[in-house]
Structure 1
Amino acid sequence: MKVCIYGAGAIGAHIGVLMKLAGVDVSLIARGAHLAAIRENGLTLEIGGETKIARMPASDNPSDLGPQDYVIIALKSHQAWETAEQVKPLLGPETVVVTAQNGIPWWYFYGFEGQYANLQLESVDPGGRQWKAIGPERVVGCTVYPAAEIVSPGVVRHIYGDRYGLGEPTRKVTPRVKRLADAFEAGGLKPSIYPEIRNDIWLKLWGNLCFNPISALTHATLDVVATDTGTRAVARQMMEEAEIVARRIGVHFRVNIERRINGAASVGAHRTSMLQDLEKGRALELDALLTVVQEIGRLVEAPTPTIDVVLALAQQMGRVAGVYPTFPEVVLDDDRAVAVH
């Protein structure tokens, strides 16, 4: 079983090192100083008081690695869009592409029936780049719950969590998703196969769409955002709006808003990924977390006033800091989003 981790950053390292040490044939796509360190010293994962080092093929050129059984895209959503065509040398006739990103994925409406069948979302896949280059029929969805960070080139520190959600867009529990789950389990990870992965995608998104931008705007840690009276109220309003949008396209939530907010508060003084990106001058992942909810909201005629305000503020903050837009700028008209190139 050949697995390529496309993006050997924090989450990519968490998956890749543990799979490799469990005997899976793993290779990596990385770049820069991180790639150089991996080639020289292997990829290091600091986890549970231990230091695990795995040596495996690593390159910045997918053509060096050739077709794979599975390609796990462990990039931010905007990075995955930018590099969609570069994935092609890794794809054979039966290659499965695993989208391990936060937010609503580009393939979301693949497998739907009725008016939304195969609808392409401009806010997360302008011009249908990933839809055309990869193809939704290859995809297995993946929700990511662990947190990790790169502490130096070639070295990643695991912070918490080992759960991953896996599921087919077609709502079938297939041999290929079972085989993938087995590879996760072999590495000591805890995958759950969901017949409807979209429910888990929205459950994860439910927190990210409010906690990430609020923390970036206020520079507050997760525990503060989730417990301060004012920011907790804003988060709740955003989640209520998102819930209405999601339910109109068939999503079911297995927990309520209060439990989701309290769960975030219990994580403690964690700096969200968006706050970390802002502080380090990296592009903000706003479109897959907020703009897409705004786009779907207009599609299903569900107003998103609080989300609209927070998104506008976060976008302006990002533009001033030089870290947004990450896609070609998206302008929403009265019907849906269109990309302006």
Structure 2
Amino acid sequence: MRTAVVGAGSMGTIIGALLTRGGEDVLLVDVNEPHVKALNEKGARITGHMELTVPVKAITPDAMQGPYDLVIYLVKTTHDEQALPEILPHLGEESAVITLQNGVPEERVAAVVGRERTLGGAIGWGATLLEPGVSELTSEVEAMTYDIGELDGSVTERLQRVKALLDKAGKAEITTNLAGIRWTKLMANVSFSGLGAALNCTYGEILDNEKALIAATTIIVETIKTAQALGITMEPMQGVAPGVLIDIIRESEENALNVIRMVWGRHRDLVASMLQDLRKGLRCEVDTLNGYLSEKSAQAGVPTPVNDKVTEIIRGIQEGRYPLSFDNLEMIEVRPLREII
């Protein structure tokens, strides 16, 4: 299967390297010319929870020559307007595009490349691009999971082929409830990733601060309640069903926080992609993550005050009104978890 990893940044570099090591015909595509140059000259180097260097083939988008059988689409949602039209000429009638972006991007991708070509999926791990050609795996290797699906929930031959491919870069599972998977991933994005961006910290620093942990858990509850109001059945995250967390909170707030520590503890070193962008002075994906939840919760009539505040803080950092600082936690008001369920 001729495959292009489009948006070969921190995660795309690792995926492309592992697929190449697995014998796949893979091309890494990225607009970052120094990164592309380093990949071609020195190979893709993975550090952190994995130490590996793999010779790879990399190009910038203008050098793409299709058609490609599969495009693994990992471009930041802030660049979709430019990137999606660029891949369209390189797709054949039987080509597929699987978006593994953050948020809920399938409809946006399908509008450009066609619903018949579009697959979706959620990645269960994180990475940080340290320098051109070098990406740090910030989650444990065992957490390198993918949940992938067709837009209509069917299980097709092409989906099985994509699963077999991604199994060479972790462990892929097929879902018949892509919307539920997406909202579970959104829950992770807006809680720990969103709060990490607002506070300039890793997941581990949130886990180690009681107020920050309660804030993250509150956003998790806000996401669950919004999904329920919208009629979306969220899927379990690493074996924990979101609805069960509400029941645990009713019984014991401390037990609920321990569950959160268990689920997110495997990602202590993770630096959210939004925070990576903010540290570089770039626009981040707040509008398609925390901002998206604020929009959907308002439509559903579900109050989400903590997520709304985190959204406002991230936008404030982006606009230069707030500093990148853990002290931003002082701006966030939290209540006992039992009062919000």
TM-score bracket for the superposition, by shorter chain length: 0.7 to 0.9
The aligned counterpart of 1:163 is 145
Aligned pair partner of 2:175 in 184, 194, 199: 194
- How many Å apart are 1:260 and its aligned residue? 3.9
TM-score, structure 2 as length reference: 0.79
The aligned counterpart of 1:213 is 194
The aligned counterpart of 1:145 is 124
1:95 to 1:322, Cα distance in 2 relative to 1, 3 A:
farther
For residue 20 of structure 1, give the secondary structure of its aligned residue in structure 2: helix
Distance, in Å, in 1 between the alignment partners of 2:54 and 2:266 is 31
For residue 289 of structure 2, give the secondary structure of its aligned residue in structure 1: helix
1:271 to 1:150, Cα distance in 2 relative to 1, 3 A:
closer
Distance, in Å, in 2 between the alignment partners of 1:47 and 1:18 is 15
The aligned counterpart of 2:43 is 42
1:60 to 1:103, Cα distance in 2 relative to 1, 3 A:
same
Distance, in Å, in 1 between the alignment partners of 2:91 and 2:269 is 41
Is the counterpart of residue 273 in structure 1 residue 255 in structure 2?
no
The aligned counterpart of 1:295 is 295
> Comparing both structures, which one devotes a greater share of its residues to helix?
2
The aligned counterpart of 1:330 is none
1:253-296 deviation digits (Å, cap 9, x = unpaired): 43244334542245335433333322222322111211111222
Q: Match for 1:39: what amino acid?
A: N
- How many Å apart are 1:51 and its aligned residue? 2.5
**Paired residue total:** 300
The aligned counterpart of 2:210 is 229
TM-score, structure 1 as length reference: 0.79
Contact preservation (8 Å) 1:29, 1:61? yes
Is the counterpart of residue 172 in structure 1 residue 132 in structure 2?
no
Distance, in Å, in 1 between the alignment partners of 2:60 and 2:110 is 23
- How many Å apart are 1:132 and its aligned residue? 3.4
Q: CA RMSD in A?
A: 2.5
Q: Match for 2:216: what amino acid?
A: A
- How many Å apart are 1:229 and its aligned residue? 2.5
- How many Å apart are 1:49 and its aligned residue? 5.4
The aligned counterpart of 1:68 is 68
The percentage of counterpart residues that share the same residue type is 26
The runs of 5 or more residues in structure 1 that have no matched partner are 108-124, 324-341
Q: Match for 2:309: what amino acid?
A: V
Is the counterpart of residue 17 in structure 1 residue 23 in structure 2?
no
Q: Match for 1:297: what amino acid?
A: S
For residue 104 of structure 1, give the secondary structure of its aligned residue in structure 2: coil
The runs of 5 or more residues in structure 2 that have no matched partner are 246-255, 324-341
Distance, in Å, in 2 between the alignment partners of 1:194 and 1:48 is 27
Distance, in Å, in 1 between the alignment partners of 2:50 and 2:224 is 39
Distance, in Å, in 2 between the alignment partners of 1:48 and 1:271 is 14
Q: Match for 1:52: what amino acid?
A: T
